[in-house]
C-alpha cells in the first residue's frame, strides 16, 4: 500500500484529492515504516546481544587463561653443602632454604637473626625445587660438596609477577609480594636465571595444592573414563529403547506412558540425577564414592533420554518405503530394522549421540553431589578409583584462594571447551557428510 496506488485510485474515480487526508495517510505510512524498522532493529539487537555475549565470554576466558600456558623457571647454582645434607635421607633436607640463603649471599643481602629474608626468598621458589634437588642427590650422592645448577618453577606469586599480573604499582600492603622480593626478582631476571617456557606441567600433572604444579591430566583422564562408562551404557540402551519405541512397540497406554516419561526425564534438572546417584549408587549399592564408575552411571541415566529422542527422530526420518521394500522381499521386522532402517538412520543417531555426550562431558552439578569435588592429586588408573573430572576441576579451582588458580581455571575451561568444540565439530561434519534428503 504505497502512496502511488493511493493517488491513482483517487484519480480514477475522478474525485478530487483531499490533501489533508493524503498527508495524514502518508504520515501514517511513514510511522508504519518507522515501526517496521524499529521492530527489525530489536531483532538485530537481540541477535547481537547473543553474539556479543559469546564473544565477550570467549574473549574474557582466553584473556584470563592464556597466561597459564607459559610459566617461568628459575635456574640457580647450588652448593650442595655437606654439613646440611643427610647423605642417607636427602628428602629431609630443606633445599629451598639452602638455595635461598645462597642466593641472598650472591645478591649481597645480609639476613637478620630470625632468617626472615631467607624465608621471603625461599617463598619465591616452588616446592618442586626440593624434590628435584633430592632426586639429584639420591641418584648421584657424589655431587654433595660440589656446586650444581638446578632449575625449578618459580612460585605462583613470582610467576604472576613476571607475567605482569601482579603490578609493582599496587601499594605493597595490597599485593602478596613485598617490595624487597620484587627487587630480588628483578635482579634474578637481570642475571639471566629466569627462563620462560611452555607450561607442560599443566598437561602432565594431576591436581596439586600449589598452583604452579597443578595440572589437568588427572581430571582429563577421569573425564575420559567417565565418558567411556557413559557411552558404553547410554548409547546401546538409548538406541535400543528408541528402536523399540519407534519400530516395535504397540501403540497402547504403556508405550504412551514410556514416551511421556522419556520427555519428562529429558527436562529433569541435572542435580536431581546427582541426588539419585547419591541415594542409589552410593548409599544403597555401595559403589565407591567420587569414582568415574558412579559418575559415568549418573551421566548415562541423564544422557539416555536425549539419545532416545534424537534416535527416534532420525528413525522417523527414514521413509516407510524402505521398510515396505524390505518387508516385501521377505525380510522379518527385525531384519528390516537392523539391516535397513537403522544403518540409514545411523548418521543422525551418531550426531545426536555425540551432542549428548558433549553435554554429559560439561555437566557439573551431579558430579559435585557424588563427591567429585574432593582433592585428588594422582592420575586415576581405573574406573573405581576416586578422581576428579574436568568440569569439577574448574569448580574446585575457581573456589581456590590463590590468585594463580584463576588463570589456571580459565586454562582448564579452554581445555574443556576444546574438547566440546572437537566433539560438536565432529557431529556437524557427520551431519554434513551423511545428510540425505529423501
Instruction: Work out which of 334, 377, 378, 422 binds another protein, going by CB under 8 A.
Output: 334
By CB under 8 A, is residue 4 in contact with another protein? no
Sequence-ordered list of residues with C-beta below 8 angstroms from that of 350, at least 6 positions apart, any chain: 427, 430
Going residue by residue from 7 to 36, which x/- string records binding to another protein, judged by CB under 8 A?
-------------------------xx-xx
Spell out the long-range contacts of 201-206 with Cβ–Cβ below 8 A and sequence spacing 24 or more.
201/71, 201/153, 202/68, 202/69, 202/71, 202/408, 202/411, 206/376, 206/377, 206/378, 206/379
**Residue 40 or 197: which CB sits closer to another protein?**
40
Decide: is 262 part of the binding site for another protein (CB under 8 A): yes
Q: Which is nearer to another protein, 98 or 361 (CB)?
A: 361
Q: Cα separation of 96 and 227, whole Å?
A: 41
Residues 359-398 contacting another protein, CB under 8 A: 359, 361-365, 368-369, 371, 373, 391-392, 394-395, 398
By CB under 8 A, what part of segment 29-88 binds another protein?
32-33, 35-36, 38-40, 42-47, 49-51, 53-54, 56-57, 60-61, 64
**Does 418 contact another protein by CB under 8 A?**
no
Q: How far is the CB of 65 from another protein (least distance, A)?
A: 10
Instruction: Please count the other Cβ atoms lying within 10 Å of the Cβ belonging to residue 402.
Output: 17
> Are 128 and 201 a contacting pair, CB within 8 Å?
no
Interface residue with another protein, options 77, 200, 236, 319 (CB under 8 A): 236
CB of 394 to another protein, least distance (A): 5
Q: How far is the CB of 172 from another protein (least distance, A)?
A: 23
Q: Which is nearer to another protein, 78 or 394 (CB)?
A: 394
If binding is defined by CB under 8 A, does position 264 make contact with another protein? Answer: yes
d(CA 154, CA 176): 15
Considering the rule CB under 8 A, would residue 213 count as an interface residue with another protein? no
Does residue 209 belong to the site contacting another protein (CB under 8 A)? Answer: no
For 309-365, the DSSP string reads HHHHHHHHTS-HHHHHHHHHTT--HHHHIIIIIHHHHHHHHHHHHHHHHHHHHH--H
Contact call for residue 249 and another protein (CB under 8 A) = yes
d(CA 277, CA 367): 9
Q: Which is nearer to another protein, 94 or 249 (CB)?
A: 249
Q: How far is the CB of 174 from another protein (least distance, A)?
A: 16
Count of residues of this chain found to bind another protein when the rule CB under 8 A is applied: 99
Least distance CB 279 / another protein (angstroms)? 3
In angstroms, the CA 82 to CA 144 distance is 6
**Subset of residues 278 to 317 that bind another protein, contact rule: CB under 8 A:** 278-280, 283-289, 301, 304-305, 308
Asked if residue 205 lies in contact with residue 217, where contact means CB atoms within 8 angstroms, the answer is: yes
What residues contact 316, with CB distance under 8 A and at least 6 apart?
A: 246
Cα-trace Rg, the chain? 33
Q: What is the 3-state secondary structure (H, E, C) of 376-407?
A: CCCCCCCCCCCCCCHHHHHHHHHHCCCCHHHH
> Where does this chain touch another protein (CB under 8 A) — which range of 77-85, 192-200, 271-279, 429-437?
271-279
Backbone angles phi, psi at 127, to 5 degrees: -65, -10
Q: Which is nearer to another protein, 134 or 384 (CB)?
A: 384
CB of 272 to another protein, least distance (A): 5
Which of 198/248 has CB closer to another protein?
248
Diameter of the chain measured on Cα atoms: 119
> Would you report the helix, strand and coil content of the chain in percent, each value rounded to 5?
70, 5, 25
Among 76, 129, 358, 379, binds another protein (CB under 8 A): 358
**Residue with Cβ nearer another protein (47 or 325):** 47
Distance in Å, CB of 387 to another protein, minimum:
13
CB distance 147 to 80 below 8 Å = yes
Rounded to the nearest whole angstrom, what is the least distance from the CB of residue 218 to another protein in the complex? 16
* DSSP-based three-state secondary structure for 37: helix
Amino acid at each position: 500500500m504505497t502512496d502511488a496506488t493511493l493517488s491513482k485510485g483517487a484519480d480514477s474515480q475522478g474525485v478530487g484529492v483531499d490533501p489533508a487526508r493524503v498527508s495524514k495517510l502518508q504520515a501514517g505510512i511513514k510511522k508504519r515504516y518507522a515501526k517496521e524498522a524499529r521492530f527489525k532493529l530489536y531483532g538485530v539487537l537481540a541477535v547481537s546481544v547473543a553474539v556479543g555475549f559469546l564473544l565477550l565470554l570467549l574473549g574474557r576466558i582466553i584473556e584470563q587463561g592464556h597466561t597459564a600456558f607459559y610459566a617461568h623457571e628459575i635456574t640457580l647454582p647450588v652448593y650442595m653443602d655437606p654439613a646440611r645434607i643427610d647423605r642417607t635421607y636427602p628428602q629431609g633436607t630443606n633445599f629451598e632454604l639452602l638455595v635461598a640463603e645462597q642466593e641472598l649471599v650472591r645478591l649481597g643481602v645480609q639476613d637478620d637473626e630470625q632468617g626472615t629474608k631467607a624465608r621471603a626468598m625461599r617463598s619465591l621458589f616452588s616446592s618442586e625445587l626440593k624434590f628435584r634437588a633430592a632426586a639429584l642427590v639420591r641418584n648421584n650422592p657424589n655431587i654433595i660438596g660440589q656446586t650444581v645448577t638446578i632449575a625449578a618453577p618459580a612460585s605462583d606469586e613470582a610467576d604472576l609477577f613476571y607475567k605482569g599480573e601482579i603490578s609493582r604499582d599496587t601499594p605493597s600492603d595490597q599485593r602478596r609480594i613485598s617490595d624487597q622480593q620484587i627487587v630480588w626478582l628483578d635482579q634474578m631476571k637481570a642475571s639471566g636465571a629466569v627462563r620462560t617456557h611452555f607450561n607442560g606441567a599443566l598437561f602432565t600433572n594431576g591436581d596439586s595444592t600449589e598452583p604452579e604444579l597443578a595440572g589437568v591430566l588427572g581430571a582429563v583422564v577421569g573425564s575420559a573414563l567417565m565418558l567411556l562408562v557413559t557411552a558404553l551404557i547410554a548409547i546401546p540402551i538409548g538406541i535400543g529403547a528408541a528402536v523399540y519405541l519407534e519400530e516395535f512397540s504397540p501403540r497402547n497406554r504403556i508405550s504412551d506412558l514410556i514416551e511421556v516419561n522419556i520427555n519428562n526425564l529429558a527436562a529433569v534438572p541435572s542435580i536431581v540425577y546427582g541426588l539419585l546417584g547419591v541415594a542409589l549408587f552410593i548409599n544403597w549399592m555401595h559403589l565407591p564414592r567420587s569414582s568415574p564408575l558412579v559418575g559415568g552411571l549418573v551421566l548415562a541415566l541423564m544422557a539416555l533420554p536425549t539419545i532416545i529422542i534424537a534416535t527416534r527422530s532420525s528413525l522417523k526420518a527414514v521413509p516407510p518405503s524402505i521398510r515396505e521394500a524390505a518387508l516385501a522381499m521377505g525380510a522379518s521386522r527385525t531384519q528390516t530394522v537392523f539391516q535397513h532402517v537403522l544403518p540409514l538412520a545411523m548418521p543422525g543417531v551418531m550426531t545426536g549421540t555425540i551432542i549428548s555426550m558433549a553435554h554429559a562431558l560439561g555437566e557439573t552439578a551431579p558430579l559435585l553431589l557424588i563427591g567429585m569435588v574432593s582433592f585428588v592429586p594422582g592420575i586415576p588408573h581405573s574406573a573405581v578409583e576416586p578422581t576428579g573430572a574436568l568440569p569439577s576441576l574448574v569448580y574446585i579451582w575457581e573456589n581456590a584462594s590463590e590468585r594463580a588458580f584463576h588463570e589456571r581455571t580459565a586454562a582448564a575451561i579452554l581445555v574443556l571447551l576444546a574438547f566440546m568444540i572437537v566433539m560438536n565439530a565432529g557431529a556437524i561434519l557427520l551431519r554434513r557428510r551423511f545428510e540425505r534428503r529423501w
